[in-house]
Amino acid sequence: MKLFHRDSPRSSHYQLSATSEDRFRAMIERSISRARYISSIISGTSYSARYDDSDGYSGGGGVYTSIASSPSGAPAPAPASSNLQTKVIPNGGDYLTELEIGTPPVKIVAVADTGSDLVWVQCKPCKECYNQTDPIFDTSKSSTFNDSVSCESRICRSLLSSRCKNNQCDYDYEYGDYSYTFGTLVKDTFTFSSAASSSSIPGIVFGCSHESGGTFDPNEDGLIGLGGGPASLVSQLDNSTHGKFSHCLVPYMENTTSTLNFGDNSVVNGPGLVTMKMNRHKTFYYVRLLSVSTGNNDTVNLDQDTNIIFDSGTTLTFLPNATLTKLINDLSKTINLTRAKDPKIDLPLCYSHSANAPPYPFPNITFTFSDNIQPYDPKPVVLTPMQTFAHFSEDVICLAMVGDDGLPIFGNIAQQNLHVGYDLRTNVISVAPANCSNF
């Protein structure tokens, strides 16, 4: 499956009139709201986006959802072995992917999100739905559509907001900013197409949304949950893809696409490969972060071993406040640019630097992770300036990291040009540098 960044000129979401400042401000607002919500889910505390000072779509797992951290869900009938691929499209800090649903297949463009589980699209009849550019999916025109998802099914029971109506599973799924989707769990054939091949998998369970709204974009037909719970697409494809998937996120302003792979072709390899044991909490994938260091090898030690979530739907990277403060102090000693502060964007480390000027040689930043089984076996991932600094306006470049004492998040700017693979059967994350535009 292909991946696109929403703000890439290749994307149908691209708005020529929008400035880079407009785009990044929206990304930051979504990141902050999403990070606060994820932290509330992990900590078990309540979160009300109504009082949040950001106003963007936050994504993430549903407010009412508690997904068991099981390595595989109720798998769809599928061949014993298969390799599936789709393109991925960025979406204002998110990445979008294309696939097809039904028979004959109907193209769907949806948010690809490793931070949530439910797969859903808007369906006819849509009682109260947000404005959608593509035609709304008409289940009556699909010969493979099946609306018999029992209330006793594992996927239905994994959604705490589900309820029964004539032994059909209805769901209420809310996100951190009060965006929502209400509908019925159904089944249909999903088709994954690439330039080389096309594969159809019958019986995928997804939400047929009849009421949805909030801050969803008209170019989004729904959301593809890639989290660790039974309802996610990854779990449902387990029989055919062996619990494996990977993504390679193309830099957000490049006029190209990258890919989302499922199955054996998602195995990560190459120079700089780092493989580490991951833990799962409900939906989320996380590893242990030991330290952060700059190009001059001055290590910024964390106060203690810290769990950090890998999340494709959060733009910025979130670090503990004390860690970020030490990192900024270290970086500021090596960067000979004029410090800047844009009053519209509250990021902690910014410099005056034109987007049209030659790239400045910012130091690399190394994130050292740990294998949970062998905590003293360091796993360094070296991030280049492209993965750590971004022009948040035409004349200001900033560190794409913020401080937060909730659960740290390894965001999608940091994941650009990294091939990131997930194996839900062995609970392993693999990371290697890659040119995602040519992936």
The phi-psi region of residue 162 (left if phi > 0; otherwise alpha if psi is between -120 and 50; otherwise beta) is beta
Among 113, 221, 330, 371, the one annotated catalytic: 113
Cis before 71 (ω within 30): no
409-410 vs 299-310, strand pairing mode:
parallel
Any idea what the Cα angle at residue 276 is, between residues 364 and 248, rounded to 5°?
Answer: 60
- In the residue annotation, 113 being an active-site residue is answered as yes
Helix (H) or strand (E) holding 304: strand 299-310
**Distance (Å) of CA 411 to CA 49, 143, 215, 295, 375:** 20, 40, 20, 20, 23
CB atoms within 10 A of CB 211: 15
- In the residue annotation, 188 being an active-site residue is answered as no
**Distance (Å) of CA 268 to CA 137, 228, 426, 431:** 35, 19, 14, 7
Any idea what the Cα angle at residue 108 is, between residues 107 and 114, rounded to 5°?
Answer: 140
Among 94, 177, 217, 311, the one annotated catalytic: 311
Contacts of 400 (CB under 8 A, 6+ apart): 315, 316, 317, 347, 388, 389, 390, 411, 413, 414
Single-letter residue type at 385: P
Distance CA(56)–CA(177), nearest Å, equals 7
Distance CA(329)–CA(349), nearest Å, equals 10
Single-letter residue type at 277: K
94-101 vs 180-193, strand pairing mode:
antiparallel
Backbone φ and ψ for 23, nearest 5 degrees, come out as -65, -45
Distance CA(294)–CA(388), nearest Å, equals 11
Check if the beta carbon of residue 223 is closer than 8 Å to that of residue 183.
Answer: no
Q: Which residue reads 């964007």 in tokens? A: 345
CB atoms within 10 A of CB 366: 18
Catalytic (active-site) positions: 113, 311
